Structure 1
Amino acid sequence: MQLSLALAASIAACVAPISALPMQVLKSYDNKPYPQEALDQYNVLRFLGTASPYVQQPGHGIQRDTPHGCSVSQVSLIARHGERYLTANKGKKTANAISRLQNITEELDGPVAFLTTYDFEGLDQDWYDKETWKGPYAGLGEMYKFGQLFRYQYDHLVGDDGNVTFYTASQERVVVSAQKFAEGFLGYTADNSSFFIIDEDDASLGGNSLTPVTGCANYDDTTNEDLIATLSDAYLNQTTARLNDGTPGINLTTSEVAGLFDYCGFDLNVGGKSDICEIFTNDELIARAYYNDIDYYYTKGPGYNLSSAIGSVYVNAMIEIMKDGDRNLTLNFAHDTDIFFIVTLLGLYDSDMPLDHQNFDSLWKVSNINPMGSRLILEKLTCEGDQEGDFVRIVHNDAVLPMSEISSGPGFSAPLDDFEDYVNKRLNGTTFAEACGLKNNTADSISFYWD
């Protein structure tokens, strides 16, 4: 009997509630050298598409440090503008979609009753198209900090005279983003003489532009709209029904709910927090994210036949710059659209995107590819030792992304010659001029870097 009692006491001690354990034991248990949680998979920023505040690309676990025996001898950047308000066009559509809610006078009770009095700050027409400037996701602040970080990473590439040119598309938010980046990068020496602005609305520029889609007469983002329309919108109907059941009398429509989905990211950009985002379940956010992924895949990604040809304008210019070796820094600022075309040509996110079911393994996730402030960097690595030569390494949204077919270089980089061959192979003889139907006297490539 005594043995049984002792055994029972030992077992009881082993199964004591965790709250009964000494605090120092708990702290020791939690102090792990490597975390076991994967909490970022639930981050709402992963589901907000191009409206999301900047969020890093998850990547493949490859270190950002320059590979041993190599140095970065050249770097090019093309960045999207920072976090912003809605565009005038999108703002008007969203405002129209939810305007009825603001006119409800009946007192409602339920989880989304607050919508009738909610301050939709992001729909202030005076700020449409402009960068945000306050809160944790302020676009102007993010671009300034990005400039500081970029200078820290590539300070050795700045010449002794300190002169740096910032090439930017002409939209105000892009120019302002470039200016804030420059202030972070150059500090007190930043001035307006450092900017080269290219008119993004001038179709006559053809390929001599950071926004060559403007000069592509054959581009039509409605080409695949019938295909996209076959994607089930059951999630939208189910979400609408759930919200209406929880708040009787609000009578939300699917159009209003779609508008609220789209507004969530901008609410964060403007105010730093969002009650709108909180009304959706994780499942609903994931379903909406796939809808956005499909839309961009078939209008600006691998699912659209002109995407790679349009992206070739920028990529071919960067190849020429890397082969010349005369330019240390090439800093460019444009739009999400332009980056979509470029990463499509590079094959960084090639995936099947079925319309009859969701591909959870797809690499083509818009929030990871083109959040606000998206940044695509091409590094030219000059290496010595066993792998002597010049290599290309791609860093997208702070993650090193190898091109699987040509990743034999240090740090899974690509030999420069192989990189050029790879790009040509993916183009398969297609040119920007041919694909877009350029007139004979229209530029088919970038020359402003050398003009």
Structure 2
Amino acid sequence: MKQDVFPSQHTGTKKQSRRSLKTGLAVMLSVSFALGLFLTQRDQEGVPSSGNVMKRHWNSGGFEEVFSKLGPYSPYADRTDSSASYDLPSGCEVSQVTILQRHGARYPTKKANVVIQTALTKLANLTASQLPSEFKFLDGYTFFGFEVDALTDFGRKEAYDAGKVAGERYQKLAKKSNLWTRSSDEARVVESGRQFIQGFNSAPFFIGNVSALPNVDVKISEEDGFVNPLSPSTCEAENVLDPNPGDVAEEDWLSVYAPPIAKRLNAVLPGANLSNTDINSLMSLCGFDSLRNVTLSKSPWCDAFTAKEWKMNEYYFDVSKYYAHGHGAPFGAINGASYIDEVVARLLDTDQVVQAGVTNLSLISPAGGERVFADFSHDNAMVEILTNLPFLTDKTPLPTTPSTESIPSHKFVVSEIVPFSGRFAFERITCTATKYRNNNKKTKTSVFVRTLVNNAIQTTHKYWDGLVPIEAFLKSVKFAQEGGDWAKCAVAAK
């Protein structure tokens, strides 16, 4: 039965929840068998034969570079920075997975579209004779004929393809119990979930008649004040921040990198008088215009800016989300803690979830088990969730006004973390043997957690293959498991 009405409060207390988590962990660890071997053989079960879970949607040639510099407007592509193997040690298998996925490519939001149209209006009166060769496309150019906020056909295909790949990768697990899905209740997010299910079931891809697609199991309201771990909005202290640190950061960097670009364009586009904000809006059209159709077609806007300018554009989104929702945000980890706690409860096969502010809805979801879970969300929420994990962290905060000649190397790159249809996966790996060599050390656990970001296995120096003993994983998300400091949301707001 599909549900879209939800309880607003979990009935279990935090003390009861923690006791249940400990009990679940004890039960899991008790399944270990004392074998005196180190496991060195590899099991190919459930591993994609290609060795790569998902291929890039776009060419690996001429315009790969620009599409990887569009921040959250980048098309999906696998990360390629992990050397860890998908193969599992012999005797180990994926016994559960939670997939968290952003919606597919969309058209601009209503607010963003207003700013885009304002910039285009400044260019509308330029005649063909006034346009240099690289801007001849502006003669008669318009950006209309779409529904703001809605998925593009390319985005629909991204979601479908993600589901198809997940269905193939986890087919053995999917045979044990039905796929269970949950979505934040925004139309583009829900439709992405439905397309994912269609692909997961290996049913044909089609566009139109959304009602004919399978529905998600649970939709969670995004109304103001409604508790929603997939789209947190009830941290009052964050809601009254003025200005928001993310807005400050993006304005700081915009004031550094955009003026030279505006000067260059205004010099060749007489009378345009483009502002810094106009530059940002026009650059966004490379993604929005290219990702409209099922088959990607590069917009002429992509060639209107240089490689150096695209790199600066990419950094704009990095500092914006870093300070609005990531490690530089005062409430980023707090907002993401509740979802992490739900993942932990699933891993431990319990319906008792530690409360961390954004009240969970676990009473209407299966209590873990051998199952594929898939949740559908937004980029901002996913960044907040990632902030609770020990991966892709930078040692120092991202500077907001670096030289345009020396943008620092950093791990928090939005286009590589939450592009359109970006996804995280939390795999529970269960082994029938209890001694496994990890970085030349023995461990007696039989349960591991492996985290993937855009299909790249996340590793640490200690856990070089990404197989983290479940006890160590729980320690790594201690902040969320201790409640996520939600009190800060109320105290700071007074």
- TM-score normalised by L of structure 2: 0.72
Residue 179 of structure 1 corresponds to 194
Map residues 348-427 of structure 1 onto 2, 5 A cutoff.
348-351=391-394, 352=396, 353-357=398-402, 358-383=406-431, 384-387=433-436, 388-404=445-461, 407=463, 411-424=465-478, 426=479
3-state DSSP class of the match of 1:346?
Answer: coil
Q: Give deviations 1:350-386, integer Å, cap 9, x for gaps.
A: 1131224254320011110110000110001112252
- Residue 46 (structure 1) aligned with residue 68 (structure 2): yes
Map residues 262-277 of structure 1 onto 2, 5 A cutoff.
262-271=284-293, 272-277=297-302
Q: Is the 8 A contact 1:111 1:246 kept in 2?
A: no
- TM-score normalised by L of structure 1: 0.78
Residue 318 of structure 2 corresponds to 293
Map residues 279-358 of structure 1 onto 2, 5 A cutoff.
279-324=304-349, 325-351=368-394, 352=396, 353-357=398-402, 358=406
Residue 484 of structure 2 corresponds to 431
More displaced stretch, 388-397 vs 349-358: 349-358
Q: Give deviations 1:209-261, integer Å, cap 9, x for gaps.
A: 422x2222222463324455443633211112222334455543333222111
Gaps of 5+ in 1: 1-37, 439-451
3-state DSSP class of the match of 1:129?
Answer: coil
Q: Give deviations 1:116-171, integer Å, cap 9, x for gaps.
A: 435344x43x42111111xxxx11112111111100000111245x6332101110
- Residue 157 (structure 1) aligned with residue 173 (structure 2): yes
Q: For 1:273 and 1:40, locate their aligned partners in 2 and report how far apart those are by CA, in whole Å.
A: 10
The letter of the residue matching 1:304 is A
3-state DSSP class of the match of 1:102?
Answer: coil
Shift of 1:284: 0.8
The letter of the residue matching 1:132 is T
Q: Is the 8 A contact 1:77 1:330 kept in 2?
A: yes
3-state DSSP class of the match of 1:167?
Answer: strand
- Residue 215 (structure 1) aligned with residue 234 (structure 2): yes
Shift of 1:340: 0.5
Q: Is the 8 A contact 1:103 1:116 kept in 2?
A: no
Q: For 1:229 and 1:319, locate their aligned partners in 2 and report how far apart those are by CA, in whole Å.
A: 37
Q: For 2:417 and 2:265, locate their aligned partners in 1 and report how far apart those are by CA, in whole Å.
A: 30
Shift of 1:67: 4.1
Q: Is the 8 A contact 2:107 2:147 kept in 1?
A: yes
The letter of the residue matching 1:223 is N
Backbone CA RMSD of aligned residues: 2.7
Residues paired across the two proteins, number: 387
Q: For 1:117 and 1:151, locate their aligned partners in 2 and report how far apart those are by CA, in whole Å.
A: 46
Closer/same/farther in 2, CA of residues 372 and 196 from structure 1, 3 Å limit: same
Shift of 1:297: 0.5
3-state DSSP class of the match of 2:133?
Answer: coil
- Residue 131 (structure 1) aligned with residue 185 (structure 2): no
The letter of the residue matching 2:457 is V
Q: For 1:316 and 1:261, locate their aligned partners in 2 and report how far apart those are by CA, in whole Å.
A: 38
Q: For 1:111 and 1:245, locate their aligned partners in 2 and report how far apart those are by CA, in whole Å.
A: 14
3-state DSSP class of the match of 2:259?
Answer: helix
3-state DSSP class of the match of 2:88?
Answer: coil
Overall identity of the aligned pairs, in % = 26
Shift of 1:310: 1.1
Closer/same/farther in 2, CA of residues 194 and 48 from structure 1, 3 Å limit: closer
3-state DSSP class of the match of 2:100?
Answer: strand
**Higher Cα Rg, which structure:** 1
Q: Is the 8 A contact 2:128 2:136 kept in 1?
A: no
3-state DSSP class of the match of 2:447?
Answer: strand
- Residue 236 (structure 1) aligned with residue 258 (structure 2): yes
The letter of the residue matching 1:282 is A
Q: Is the 8 A contact 1:69 1:385 kept in 2?
A: no
Q: Is the 8 A contact 1:80 1:374 kept in 2?
A: yes
Q: Is the 8 A contact 1:110 1:248 kept in 2?
A: no
Q: Is the 8 A contact 2:257 2:312 kept in 1?
A: yes
Greater share of residues in helix: 1
Q: For 1:192 and 1:175, locate their aligned partners in 2 and report how far apart those are by CA, in whole Å.
A: 11
Q: For 2:273 and 2:238, locate their aligned partners in 1 and report how far apart those are by CA, in whole Å.
A: 39
Gaps of 5+ in 2: 1-59, 205-211, 350-367, 437-444
Q: Is the 8 A contact 1:108 1:249 kept in 2?
A: no
Q: For 1:273 and 1:335, locate their aligned partners in 2 and report how far apart those are by CA, in whole Å.
A: 25
2:78 to 56, 80, 84: 56
3-state DSSP class of the match of 2:387?
Answer: helix
Residue 21 of structure 1 corresponds to none
Q: Is the 8 A contact 2:190 2:216 kept in 1?
A: no
Q: Is the 8 A contact 1:113 1:250 kept in 2?
A: no
3-state DSSP class of the match of 1:219?
Answer: helix
The letter of the residue matching 1:401 is Q
Shift of 1:109: 3.3
3-state DSSP class of the match of 1:63?
Answer: coil
